[in-house]
A and B are shown apart, each in its own frame.
Chain A
Amino acid sequence: MRSGGTDGGAGEDRPATDSRSAVLARVRTAVSDVPSDETPDDVPVPRTYRRTVAPGDTVGLFAARVADYRATVVRCAPEDVAGTVAALLERRGARRVVVPEGFPPEFLTRTDADLVGDRPPLSVRRLASVDGTLTTATVAVAETGTIVLDTGPGQGRRALSLLPDYHLCVVRAEQIVPDVPEALARLEPHRPLTFISGPSATSDIELQRVEGVHGPRTLDVVLVVADTSGANP
């Protein structure tokens, strides 16, 4: 018999303080083998994994790793962003797209798509009915091909990059860090953080990968590289 599930709220809660002190007391008793003068710092955590990664071609690595997730990466020079955005929206058939507050207006000069702002906040139904979303990112991770959104300027609240089926994200080369520790160090923990590594995916049916169950099925990353000549193939 499955137990514990029969008392769905019939009785009163026991006073909250009771459970709190009971659990904490049990926790303290359970570790009675730990010397009372031991502090957390007395239990060493070796951080030898935090080697500084040699500054290799993080931009190239990031692009390759994003592409591994079956997302599209398009590199362009700062002056070509607007054209690239326009071309991608056209290619994806995204006619009505949401643009969060703070998204650089100069990236929008070439597209004739119907741009929808989020002030006042759009209803979830409305958001679910648009074709796509344009955002920037706050940091990107080369080693894992991850973009991180923290709801700052140009990124909007979390629902914006979730409900529409298409997400176009503009990442500047200098936002790319080599690895996960470096990324966390740059982030502000009190902001809502969304790490995105490729489009939504599932492998729940016979382990066959299917893109997009709930999140955007298509992710395009526009990578803005100041110097697109030679050094960055």
Chain B
Amino acid sequence: MTEDTDHDGRVWLGTPAFPEAARTALADTRLRHNLRHATTTIRTKRLDATGEVPHWEELREAGAAIKRRTARHLATYLEQLEASVTAAGGTVHWAADATDANRIVARLVRAAGGPDTERHEVVKVKSMATQEIGLNEALAAAGITAYETDLAELIVQLGEDRPSHILVPAIHRNRAEIREIFAERMGEWGRAAPDDLTDDPKALAEAARLHLREKFLTTRVAISGANFAAADTGTIAVVESEGNGRMCLTLPETLITVMGIEKVVPTFTDLEVFLQLLPRSSTGERMNPYTSLWTGVTPGDGPQDFHLILLDNGRTDVLKDTVGRQALACIRCSACLNVCPVYERTGGHAYGSVYPGPIGAVLTPQLAGVRRAASLPFASTLCGACYEACPVKIDIPEILVHLRAKAVEAKRDGRALPTPEALAMKAAATVLDSPGLLAVAQRAGAAGGRLLGGRGGRIRRLPGPLAGWSATRDTPAPPRESFRTWWRAHREER
């Protein structure tokens, strides 16, 4: 079995691995500035919003408990959800992996388009699950064009790059760049941007509104993710701000929702917990502007054809691990990203994963296999800030330590790690360095930089003694002391 085949198609992993990507990201001062601004702003808002709720800790406790109950009895709830959605007029599909899910979606889109339609198009509301399975690319290969309708996702899609934050995916772009992207690319996808487009955020949002409205009014199929699904009623929830979600969920004739199996919750009443936890943890708002709940189909209102795809794609492997399973409780609020010192300095791209930040560092190696993402569990200081911020009390540091042990174990078993832990540690040290030290480190590491990071941050074939690095090189075991002890000692060496 080769390195990748057993986990093919589970989670996108970009190259290079975290250490090198982090190095590249660090050199990007604008990215770091944007990120720091974003994370500090959202952090403050979140603290205000959570501090205002007197029973916040009790809510977190309840959220964690509901997720624990769900995980321990997942099969029961999935079957119940299937029955409820079916009874309400929807159709439920099961997808074992990405390939499976993508095939089902492509087939449904073609069927919905009618036999005589040549042009297959779908509108999409931001969804990490569909990003995870590479749905847009799969659809493109099947001759179907998928339009992202979230403003940030639109910026990312038109700019042909990748999201860097769960909540604000285009945070690495400035308004001038966004104007440039809109002016140049919108016309290729549909309604062009006005000639006199300025870089005022209002004008940019207006251009997006006009560009996308055409799509909303004419597209027959929409694809969404789901934030939650209540097993007892079959009710699905989508939480958003802009209204693109509402557009996708109500205007097209066919709605296809792709949902990870961990998103089910036992009852409609349980939503009362998560609808309080999510917006306050995520955007620091008491409530996000729009929350849509729907159950199957409603005659005369909204799509008359509704399909729910229940996606595994590695989640059952996560469930198998009694320590790691708690990561499935994640409600994708991104609070852990905004408090993470490593994330703040590297941004989301460095993780090479659909799921960045602390949650990405624990979820990605579990979904994709520890060997493919061996450096990610080391991309953390174990400072515990993520655990404190997490609205469903996922003990991320505990899982990180657990996965580090697994990574080392995998190496001991003779299965080579693609990324040596030592390098990860070194890169993390660089990441955490002060700007002054950073320059020194970069100079000191110039030789290494020449070897490891090409101009675009891509690893080329390594010369000399490092040639076999990516596959077979025996690497030193990671230090036994905690990261912080190690880091302190290491810093003093400089």
Q: Is the CB of B312 within 8 A of A23?
A: yes
Q: Is the CB of A184 within 8 A of B271?
A: yes
Known contacts A4-B9, A7-B99: A204-B170 contact under CB 8 Å: yes
- Residues in A neighbouring B58, C-beta threshold 8 A: 46, 48-49
Contact with B along A189-228 (1 / 0, CB 8 A): 1111111111111111111101011111000000000000
B288 contacts chain A at the CB level, 8 A cutoff: yes
Q: Which residues between 120 and 141 of chain A lie within 8 Å of chain B, taking CB atoms? A: 121, 124-125, 128, 141
Known contacts A125-B217, A205-B201, A206-B201: A143-B286 contact under CB 8 Å: yes
Q: Is the CB of B103 within 8 A of A11?
A: yes
Residue from A16, A51, A181 in contact with B93 in the complex, judged by beta carbons closer than 8 Å:
A16
Beta-carbon nearest neighbor of A191 in chain B? B298
Known contacts A3-B9, A19-B95: A13-B72 contact under CB 8 Å: no
B472 contacts chain A at the CB level, 8 A cutoff: no
Which stretch, B21-29, B204-212, B417-425, B486-494, touches the partner chain A?
B204-212
Q: Is the CB of A4 within 8 A of B97?
A: yes
Q: How many residues does chain A have at the interface if contact means C-beta atoms less than 8 Å apart?
A: 85
Secondary structure dominating the interface of A? loop
A84 contacts chain B at the CB level, 8 A cutoff: no
| Cα–Cα distance between A193 and B244 once the two chains are bound (Å) | 16
A33 contacts chain B at the CB level, 8 A cutoff: yes
Q: Is the CB of A162 within 8 A of B243?
A: yes
- Residues in B neighbouring A198, C-beta threshold 8 A: 289
Which stretch, B129-137, B430-438, B445-453, B463-471, touches the partner chain A?
B129-137
Q: Is the CB of B261 within 8 A of A204?
A: no
Known contacts A23-B94, A184-B269: A214-B62 contact under CB 8 Å: no
A91 contacts chain B at the CB level, 8 A cutoff: no
Which stretch, B73-81, B188-196, B342-350, B386-394, touches the partner chain A?
B73-81
Task: Give residues in B with beta carbon < 8 Å to A.
Answer: 4, 8-10, 12, 14-15, 34, 37-38, 41-42, 55, 58-59, 61-62, 65-66, 68-69, 71-79, 88, 93-100, 102-104, 106-107, 110, 133-144, 149-152, 155, 168-171, 174-175, 178, 201-202, 204-205, 208-209, 212-213, 216-217, 230, 233, 235, 241-244, 246-247, 249-251, 261, 266, 268-273, 275-276, 283, 285-296, 298, 300-302, 310, 312, 316-317, 319-320, 322, 325
Further pairs besides A3-B8, A8-B102: 10, Cβ < 8 Å: A2-B137, A19-B95, A19-B100, A48-B61, A68-B286, A192-B294, A194-B246, A205-B204, A206-B175, A214-B247
15 contacts between A and B (CB under 8 A): A2-B134, A9-B141, A14-B100, A19-B96, A23-B312, A43-B69, A45-B62, A65-B286, A162-B246, A185-B272, A189-B233, A189-B268, A194-B290, A213-B208, A214-B212
Shortest 3 CB-CB contacts between residues of A and residues of B: A4-B9, A215-B243, A5-B134
